[in-house]
Amino acid sequence: MSDQPGPPQDNTEHVAGERRRLHNVRNHLSIILGYCDLLLAEIPDTDRKHADLLEIRKAAAAASAILEGVPEP
């Protein structure tokens, strides 16, 4: 699946492409968040990597929250 839609030929195709892109972004964010959670569970919070991971997670969660506000095309 390509994330680069060509020039929209008609509206249906355009909407489908937008939806697909949104789907993929959510998917990728999900993966980032998921790995963060896995690592956070394994790394003790005394380790400074723990705090770094929390930062990554925060950013991914913020991006995810922005997407929540994006209406379905």
Partner 1 sequence: MTAPHDENDDVPPVLLIVDDEPGMVALLTRFAGDRGFTVIGRSGAQEVLAELPTLKADAAIVDLRMPGVSGLDLLKAICDADPSCQVILMTAHASVDSAIEAVKLGALDYLSKPIDFDRLGELLTTVKRGIDRRRLLLAVDSEMASRFEFQGLIGRSAVMQQLFDSIRRLGPHVRTALVTGETGTGKELVARALHRLGTRKDRTYITCNCSAIVETLFESELFGHMRGAFTGATEAKAGLFELADGGTLFLDEIGEMPLAMQAKLLRVVEYGEVQRVGSTSPKKVSVHVIAATNRNLLDEVAAGRFRQDLYYRLNVVEIATPALRDHPEDIPYLVAAFVKEFAARFRKSLIGISPGAERVLQNSPWLGNVRELRNTLERACMLSESHLLSERELVAAMGAALRSRPAPTASLQPSSGLPPAAAELTPDSLREALALAGGNKSQAARALGLSRRALYRRLETLGIR
Minimal distance, residue 72 CB to partner 1, in Å: 7
57, two tokens? 């997670």
Instruction: List interacting residues with partner 1 (CB under 8 A).
Output: 1, 19, 22-24, 26-31, 33-35, 37-38, 40-41, 60-61, 64, 72
Least Cβ distance, residue 12 to partner 1 (angstroms): 17
Q: Contact, 33 vs 61, CB < 8 A?
A: yes
Residue with tokens 């963060």: 36
**CB closer to partner 1 out of 28 and 58:** 28
Structural contact between residues 62 and 52, judged by C-beta atoms closer than 8 angstroms = no
